[in-house]
Each structure stands twice: as structure tokens, then as C-alpha cells.
């Protein structure tokens, strides 16, 4: 860590990027300040690697710097911050995740939904997750598809109930994903909703 710290000053972008990645592997909570300083790097790749490192070395990713990365100009950095936020120990992560659900870039919204479905999040109850995923179903196609995938991962009759709202959608890909979700999680009564599609 000391060698990395000494080599950061005036280093090329490739060196800064590799150092950020290495810090993500060997860094300790006490190295958080060094990683946080990389969040101001001019390179989006370095900032993204710093966010990923921060989520590993700070205590559960519970760091104010992580929240600031949610407003980064690069959508890749915002995606990394969303994924880190979902696995963090932040108790109040719902507000930040809701803000990401209104991000201007649909790739950020999609990645946020997939992360919500794939990970347990301390700051989200199961009801919170379903509320966020249900709002994603009303978004553009790619985001709706991400929401359906997340619902399928989350599972349960609630997931099937949410997915059934897309059975009459005009995009066949979304209907197919909704049918898959119902096929995995619906009870017998809910499966009857598929009969008109036959």
C-alpha cells in the first residue's frame, strides 16, 4: 500500500487504474482516504475502479464518498456506485436507489434494478425492493426487462403478481420475460392469466 501511495503522484492513467484495482484487492479500511482521493481522478475508468475498491475495503461500503459517486458524470461510475450501494451496510440506501431510478441514462437504471434483484441489501426491505422493481416495469423496454429479470431472481408470488402487469405489453420480449417469471413463481390461480396468450 505504501508503494502504491508513493507511485500515484504524477502517474499515467494506466498506472493509476492498476493501482486502484490493486487497492481493491489488498486495501484495508484505513486505506479508505487514499481510495477516496482517486474518486477525483480525471479518468472515468480510474474513478470506477476506485468505487469498486471502496465498496470492498470500507466497512460494508458505508462511506459518504460512495454516495457522491452516484452523481458522477460518467454512467459507468454511477453504475459501479449503484452496485456498491446495494451491497453496502447503509441503512438509508432506499433514497439513493430511488434517485438512481430517475437517472437520465437507462443503462444506470437497468443496472440498479439488476443489482437490487441479485443482492441482499441492508437498507431495503423486501417490500422496498418490490416497490422499486415495480416502478421499473413502467420504464422503457430495456429497463422493464431488467426489472422482470430482477423480479424473477427475487421470486415469490409477489414477483409473479408484478410481472403479470406486462402480459398485455406490445413488446413480445417483455411478454416472454413476464411469462417466464410467472412460470417460475406463480400459483395455480395466477397461471390462469396465461390462458389468453395460448
Q: Do 194 and 164 form a contact (C-beta atoms < 8 A)? A: no
CB 39 within 8 A of CB 69: yes
125 falls in which pLDDT band (50, 70, 90)? confident
pTM of the model: 0.85
Model confidence pLDDT, tens digit, residues 62-119:
567 887 899 999 999 999 999 888 877 666 678 888 889 999 999 999 999 999 888 7
Instruction: Please say if the pLDDT value at position 38 is more than 60.
Output: yes
Compute the distance between CA of residue 16 and CA of residue 139 in angstroms, rounded to an integer.
37
Q: Are 174 and 145 in contact (CB under 8 A)?
A: yes
Amino acid at each position: 500500500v505504501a508503494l502504491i501511495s508513493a507511485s500515484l503522484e504524477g502517474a499515467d492513467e494506466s498506472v493509476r487504474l492498476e493501482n486502484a484495482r490493486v487497492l481493491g484487492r489488498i486495501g484495508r479500511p484505513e486505506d479508505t482516504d487514499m481510495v477516496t482521493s482517486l474518486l477525483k481522478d480525471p479518468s472515468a475508468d480510474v474513478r470506477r475502479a476506485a468505487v469498486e475498491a471502496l465498496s470492498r475495503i470500507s466497512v460494508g461500503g458505508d462511506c459518504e464518498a460512495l454516495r457522491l459517486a452516484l452523481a458522477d458524470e460518467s454512467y459507468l461510475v454511477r453504475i459501479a456506485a449503484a452496485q456498491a450501494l446495494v451491497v453496502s451496510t447503509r441503512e438509508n440506501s432506499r433514497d439513493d436507489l430511488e434517485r438512481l431510478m430517475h437517472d437520465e441514462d437507462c443503462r444506470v437504471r437497468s443496472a440498479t434494478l439488476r443489482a437490487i434483484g441479485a443482492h441482499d441489501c441492508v437498507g431495503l426491505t423486501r417490500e422496498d425492493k418490490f416497490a422499486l422493481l415495480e416502478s421499473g416495469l413502467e420504464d422503457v423496454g430495456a429497463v422493464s426487462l431488467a426489472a422482470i429479470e430482477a423480479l424473477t431472481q427475487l421470486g415469490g408470488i409477489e414477483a409473479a403478481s408484478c410481472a403479470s402487469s406486462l402480459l398485455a405489453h406490445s413488446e413480445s420480449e417483455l411478454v416472454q420475460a413476464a411469462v417466464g417469471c410467472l412460470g417460475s413463481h406463480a400459483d395455480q390461480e395466477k397461471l390462469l392469466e396465461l390462458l389468453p396468450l395460448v
